[in-house]
Amino acid sequence: MKVDLTPYVDKRICVALSGGRDSMALIDYLSVNAAQYGIMLSAVNCDHCMRGEESARDSRFVADYCRENGIPLIFFRADGRKFTDERSAREWRLSCFDSIISSGRADYIATAHHMNDNAETVLFNLARGSSLAGLTGIAESTSRSYIRPFIGVSGEEIESYVRKRNISFVTDSTNLTDDYTRNKIRHGVLPALESAVSGAVGNIYRFSRLAAEDEEYLSRVASGYVSPCRGGYIISHCPERVIFRRAAHLIVNGRLHKKDYTFAQFERLYALQFSENGKKFLFLGLSAVKQPDGVAIVETLKEDGLMLPFSEVLGRTLQMPDGEKFTIAQGEPPEITCGLKPLVFDLDEVPPTAVVRTRRSGDRFTKFGGGSKSLGDYLTDKKIPQSIRDRLPLIADGAEVLAVGGVEISDRIKITENTVRRAVFICPNATEK
């Protein structure tokens, strides 16, 4: 068994050590080769407390091994935690791994995933109707500083290595049952496939590496269609469905961290770009809006996201629910700041009943020189994107809008020769969004 360890020269590697066959083979292999590559080795063990005495036994086995071999061990125990499923247990385990990296105790966390695990993942995702992204298998490394040195090694090679080195290990009894989908694939599907097509596991591995290359290229192309906007991102008009879907995935999953999306939702997003401007599609707490420059996907704001008396806002810098800041203060505007649009108005013309809020149905705005129209029509005239209209702070008195942050003030509160007190409304320039 030969594994390329040159990428890890002089690195601190912490092995995720369960005590099972694969992880014990991995720590043994790294121990044997540590001096040659200057690797500083440690281990981490996580007791989920889900298998009672058996899991405690496994942790004791790992602790004894590390003590006898002079390997520093970091131990986590899920005292008092109740995991409802394997997924929640995995999330806790990964949080333990991440804490090791973030605290500077290791450069990498090494897991013992191997070629057969990769084949299980590919087959499982294929059976669920995955796109190409789901067929890329298990990567050799991740952006979270996880590495899988054995990913190109078959389970049979690892088993042979364990026998040759006479490596002791423990067995997780849950891996022996067919209670889990992966176990059914491991015990039934993969052996049958290998019997029908010799070398199937290795061939699936090669396929997954080629699929990963294709996916990386297509995703890189798709990223060129994605640009930030207030509260989210815009996908520029893209008639190529395969590229558009990847752009949507990059935003929804990668940038906005929504996991439970569906193929049908991405199809609706694709169709939205051919609709009329202003049409919306709501899903997963997101708003997708058709705009002249593409489809904007933004976090949906609650209707009660902002509502404060004007008197309480004056002299303060506040933050909108989407994170954008604005200031309303008495006096002259400061020196112009890039990206901001100060609006100067007559403070004494703001009625005591005025509030600062986001827009509502029925809002109206009076332009300079007179002439009232609906706020929506006014914002359309100003070419303000639909995706940010609900995110603009307003000064309003009832349904009459006196100022639109980052856009304009109404004729009613404009500066005149009779103005005594001036105030300034400083907000990100909405016409540049």
Kindly report, residue by residue over 101-160, the tens digit of the pLDDT.
999 999 999 999 999 999 999 999 999 888 888 899 999 988 789 999 999 999 999 999
* pLDDT band, residue 423 (cuts 50/70/90): very high
Whether the pLDDT of residue 344 is over 70: the answer is yes
Residue whose tokens read 């709501």: 282
User: In the chain, what percentage of residues exceed pLDDT 70?
Assistant: 96
Stretch(es) of the chain classified as CATH 3.30.465:
225-299
pLDDT in the model for residue 335: 73
CB 327 within 8 A of CB 315: no
- Give CA–CA dist 431/428, Å, rounded: 9
pLDDT, residue 260, reads 83
Architecture of domain 225-299: 2-Layer Sandwich (3.30)
Q: Give me the helices (H) in 262-374, please.
A: 263-272, 310-313
Task: Give the model's pLDDT for residue 342.
Answer: 92
| Mean predicted confidence (pLDDT) in 311-326 | 85
Please choose, from the candidates 49, 32, 39, 20, the residue with its C-alpha nearest in 3D space to the C-alpha of residue 147.
39
Mean pLDDT of the chain: 90
Q: What local confidence, expressed as pLDDT, does residue 337 receive? A: 64
CB contact set of 351 (below 8 Å; sequence gap of 6+): 397
Return the number of other C-beta atoms located less than 10 Å from residue 292's C-beta: 10
* Whole-angstrom Cα Rg for the chain: 30
- 104 burial type by CB count under 10 A (0-12 exposed, 13-18 middle, 19+ buried): exposed
The token duo for 135 is: 């067929």
In this prediction, residue 176 carries a pLDDT of 59
Task: Return the CATH architecture of domain 6-215.
Answer: 3-Layer(aba) Sandwich (3.40)
Backbone angles phi, psi at 339, to 5 degrees: 90, -10
**Is pTM, for the whole model, over 0.75?**
no
Is 304's pLDDT higher than 60?
no
- Give mean pLDDT, residues 402-410: 95
How far, CA to CA in Å, does 214 sit from each of 116, 133, 235, 256? 22, 9, 21, 24
Cβ(138)–Cβ(148) below 8 Å: yes
Strand partners, 283: 286
CB 259 within 8 A of CB 253: yes
- The predicted pLDDT at position 234 comes to 95
Residue reference for tokens 């043994």: 28
- Show the DSSP H helices in 69-199 as ranges: 86-102, 115-127, 155-165, 181-184, 190-196
